[in-house]
Amino acid sequence: MKSYEVNFDGLVGPTHNYGGLSYGNVASQSNSQQSSNPKEAALQGLAKMKALMEMGFQQGVLAPQERPDVGALRRLGFSGTDAQVIEQAAKQAMPLLVANCSASSMWVANAATVSPSADTADGRVHFTAANLNCKYHRSIEHPTTSRVLGAMFADQKHFAHHAALPAVAQFGDEGAANHTRFCREYGEAGVEFFVFGRSAFDTRYPEPQKYPARQTLEASQAVARLHGLSDDGVVYAQQNPAVIDQGVFHNDVIAVGNGEALFYHEDAFLDTEQMLAELSAKLAKCGGQFKAICVPRSQVSVEDAVRSYLFNSQLLSRADGSMLLIVPQECQNNPRVWQYLQELTRSGGLIREVKVFDLKQSMQNGGGPACLRLRVALNETELAAVNPGVIMTAPLYGTLTQWVDKHYRDRMTESDLADPQLLLECRTALDELTQILKLGAVYPFQIN
Ligand code: SUG
């Protein structure tokens, strides 16, 4: 049976803004308080989805969340009508209003961890919504994420959904941003690679000194258990704490895998040799041949990797077995990274082509091409069981761009978030969106 990697991209929500909310994420911190352009952000994301669809890849779309999150503000003690809740929060605790307005659900690599049916004990595709417990503004995403994923992958014969892990730092889980899968074919059993930043219960693992390590080993192990993965089908590796301290807040800022290949920076991991040997041995048991593509620090420094987001790229398989790298424009703007990419594609290795996308609006908050997509490997039967409303087509692209043009503002600053009109605009837009994507009622304002 045919199988595919389907990329579900997060549609940028109407409140996209630069809140400076993510300590440890260099772009988020350095662009704090700049004015944003939500309309441009959403159109940039849609342009990438359309381009991949036109290249022949399977492409889907994941809906944004309701923001401002008035329910979350109420849980923090603000009361009255919805407009009064926003007004009080703006007056008394602007940082809380900003956090409750974040459009951060666009980075759907953090929405969930997904295990394809070929890897799981019950032969279903498993999803665990990420608790995103390290940052308040992201920790409020998972209830709606679960409802949206449930509406997209509703058929229980093929899809199993797990609630987010306990919402404590010891089980900090950032979803697919710290998870990669290696396989020969997408439909065959593979090796799931879980990368963690620290251990919550075992003091032998070193920790970063400056910035938080968001993903714990214990969270990764819990997800592997929930999904029914076999020991032979799993490899755990620790991120180098020194790179977390340089701004690598997720492993997908310094490594990306696809098929049998791992493209990574020399300084990305601890115990790299042992990890490569384990990946190679376990993939061989699945009939695959592991291929490591290491980028040496002498050619690209960690700083350049973080600035350019070279590794936050999408590594895609082409029909002839070679691979294509989707990178953000920031890679082209960095002479050392661009030089490296020229040499890489000319070398006759696995990665033959690089395509550049302008995703500046998202990049300025630390979200590149890979952050914006959730990969779901599906066989033909499973793909047919996905809600067809969320699969990208030329007409859907047209409808969504019109929807963005109609509802989104082209400028947003902190003071705009206090405008009670913004809440109404967002709800009107999202109500229409659930009809476009045929999701049913998934937002708090639709179900409460
Ligand atoms: O969690 N930025 C996100 C970026 C997530 C990127 N995802 C992956 N690497 N997969 C984060 O730090 C910034 C929001 C703000 O500052 O307004 C933010 O949440």
> What pLDDT digit, counting tens, does each position of 232-258 carry?
999 999 999 999 999 999 999 999 999
Q: How far apart are CA 81 and CA 370, in angstroms?
A: 39
Read off the pLDDT of each residue in 141-168 and give the average, rounded to a whole number: 98
Is beta strand 112-115 parallel, antiparallel or unpaired with respect to 125-129?
Answer: antiparallel
* Phi–psi pair at 56, nearest 5 degrees: 100, 5
201: helix, strand or coil: coil
Read off the pLDDT of each residue in 144-149 and give the average, rounded to a whole number: 98
Within 10 Å of residue 222's Cβ, how many Cβ atoms?
A: 17
**Which residues are tagged catalytic?**
174, 250, 371
Q: Which two tokens stand for residue 261?
A: 């290949």
Work out the mean pLDDT of the chain and round it to a whole number: 98
Residue 298 confidence (pLDDT) above 90: yes
Q: How far apart are CA 265 and CA 268, in angstroms?
A: 5
Number of H helices, E strands in the chain: 18, 15
Burial of 198 (0-12, 13-18, 19+ CB in 10 A): buried
The per-residue pLDDT for range 157-179, each reduced to its tens digit, is 999 999 999 999 999 999 999 99
Which residue's alpha carbon is at the smallest distance from atom 6 of ligand 1? Answer: 367
Homologous superfamily (CATH) of 3-67+102-447 is Succinylarginine dihydrolase (3.75.10.20)
| CA-wise closest residue to 22 among 333, 301, 248, 229 | 248
Q: How far apart are CA 257 and CA 351, in angstroms?
A: 12
Those residues whose C-beta lies under 8 Å from the C-beta of residue 384, and which sit 6 or more positions away, are none
With tokens 């990329």, the residue in question is: 7
Q: How far apart are CA 355 and CA 358, in angstroms?
A: 10
The per-residue pLDDT for range 117-138, each reduced to its tens digit, is 999 999 999 999 999 999 999 9
Q: For residue 339, give the amino acid letter.
A: Q
Q: How far apart are CA 328 and CA 44, in angstroms?
A: 11
Half-sphere exposure for 410 (CA within 13 Å, toward CB): 4
Rounded to the nearest whole angstrom, what is the distance from the C-alpha of residue 309 to the centroid of ligand 1? 13
Which residue's alpha carbon is at the smallest distance from atom 1 of ligand 1? Answer: 22
pTM over 0.75: yes
Q: Which residues line ligand 1 (CB under 6 A)?
A: 18-22, 25, 28, 102, 104, 107, 109-110, 138, 177, 249-250, 252-253, 365-367, 371
Establish whether 437 is an annotated binding residue: no
pLDDT, position 226:
98
Taking CA atoms, 175 is separated from 172, 184, 266, 398, in Å, by 9, 23, 23, 30
Which residue's alpha carbon is at the smallest distance from atom 14 of ligand 1? Answer: 21
- Which of 166-181 are b and which e, b meaning 16 or more Cβ less than 10 Å from the residue's Cβ? eeeeebbbbbbbbbbb
What are the boundaries of each domain within the chain?
A: 3-67+102-447
Establish whether 214 is an annotated binding residue: yes
Handedness of CA 72, 156, 2, 115 (dihedral sign): positive
